[in-house]
Every structure is written in C-alpha cells, then in structure tokens.
C-alpha cells in the first residue's frame, strides 16, 4: 500500500516535493491544517523561509499538533528551511516586531545556523556522498553508490549534533566560506535522528530522488 505523505504547504517549494514523492509511488498530499496531519504516514517540510513557515504554522494551528506528533515518533523530512524547523536550537534566530525569537518544531538534537553558506548569489552545487543510500531498493548492490548532486540555496548548516544524531553527509571545507577564525572546515549538511531526516540542500530541485526514497523506506521501517 502506498504511504500517505504530506508536504507542509504553508510556504516554499511544495510542488517539487509533491512531484518527487509521487514519482516514487507515494500518495503525496499538500497539508495546511492540523486536521490534514491526522491520517498521514509522514511529512515533508520544504525549503523556503523558516521565519514564514514558523509564523504561518502557528497562525494555522499546525505547530503545536506537529510538535506533539514529532515527539511521538512521527516521521518527518526537512530540506533547507525544513532542516531549521526540525532543529532543537537555531543559532541565529530572527525576532518579530515584539522581540520574540522565531521558533522551530524541534525534534533533532542539533544546532543549526541559518543562511550559513551565504546569500542567494552564493548558491552552489556539489557532489556529496550520503550515508544510507547504498541499501535503497533502487541501488545496484554490485555498483558503487553514485554521489548526490546537491543544490545549496541560501542554505543552513549544522553547527553541532547530539550523541543520538547520525551525520549522513558533510560539505568539504573547500566548498565552505571562511569562518571568523579565517579557516574553512567541513560542514554537516545531512542528518538523521530516529524517524527524522534533514538536509541543508534541495534534492527535489535537480530531479534527485534518493533522499525521498530513503525517507519512504524510513516510514516503512526498512531503513
């Protein structure tokens, strides 16, 4: 039976994620209300503006329901802004006019830095080796797993993770901006924690499907 997977449709690249899930045989549904979360097997939080997703999710009553479901083990995949929304801690949250810092849904024990790779003009693509893809049904066990062509668009990175968080991929130092100390270091850009998956990059932009396939396998309990 096809898994029912929602894409949080408050803001961001919703259509691309729906198409990716649909191409893999999932029943993909846009989600805008708490009621629409009820019968899902999993949820994708798309890229976009984390501040807008935060504001609208609270306005429409989605935030508290989703936080509770995440705490109860609900599978969620977040890309780019979605990664920020799954972080327990945002290193550099913005504040609204009342001085209140932006919020996240949380769930992954990590600290995420927003727009860490720079502005829109600093967007780039790079080939990444992603842990966990080698066992996917689409992969030939007799061949080496091809790298993922990852697109980074005003992307965050993960500054630190807790003990139970698995790091799936890092961007090599030569593709990262200089730090405050004048050095470049590898940066974490894909993580998994139980039923939660997050990437800094947008696999849906270039037609890459293996990240979504991994998420579907997680939902089914096969990864």
Residues forming the active site = 80, 202, 204
d(CA 170, CA 200): 10
Cβ–Cβ under 8 Å, residues 169 and 189: yes
Q: Which of 31, 185, 157 is nearest to 87 (CA)?
A: 157
H or E element in which residue 219 lies: helix 210-220
What is the radius of gyration, based on Cα positions, of the chain? 16
d(CA 120, CA 98): 28
The residues, ordered by sequence, that sit 6+ positions from 146 with a Cβ below 8 Å of its Cβ are: none
On the 0-12 / 13-18 / 19+ scale of CB atoms within 10 A, 149 is middle
């Amino acid at each position: 039976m096809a898994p029912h997977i929602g894409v949080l449709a408050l803001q961001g690249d919703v259509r691309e994620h729906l198409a990716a899930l649909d191409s893999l045989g999932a029943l993909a549904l846009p989600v805008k209300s708490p009621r629409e979360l009820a019968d899902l097997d999993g949820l994708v939080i798309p890229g976009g503006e984390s501040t807008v997703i935060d504001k609208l999710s609270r306005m429409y009553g989605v935030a508290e329901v989703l936080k509770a479901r995440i705490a109860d083990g609900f599978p969620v995949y977040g890309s780019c802004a979605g990664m920020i929304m799954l972080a327990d801690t945002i290193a550099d949250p913005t504040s609204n006019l009342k001085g209140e810092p932006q919020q996240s849904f949380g769930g992954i024990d990590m600290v995420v830095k927003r727009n860490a790779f720079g502005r829109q003009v600093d967007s780039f693509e790079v080939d990444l080796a992603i842990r966990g893809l080698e066992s996917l049904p689409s992969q030939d066990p007799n061949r080496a797993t091809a790298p993922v062509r990852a697109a980074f668009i005003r992307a965050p990175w993960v500054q630190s993770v807790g003990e139970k968080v698995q790091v799936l991929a890092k961007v090599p130092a030569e593709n990262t901006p200089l730090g405050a100390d004048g050095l470049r270091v590898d940066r974490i850009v894909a993580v998994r924690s139980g039923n939660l998956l997050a990437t800094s990059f947008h696999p849906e932009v270039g037609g890459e499907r293996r990240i979504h396939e991994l998420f579907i396998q997680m939902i089914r309990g096969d990864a």
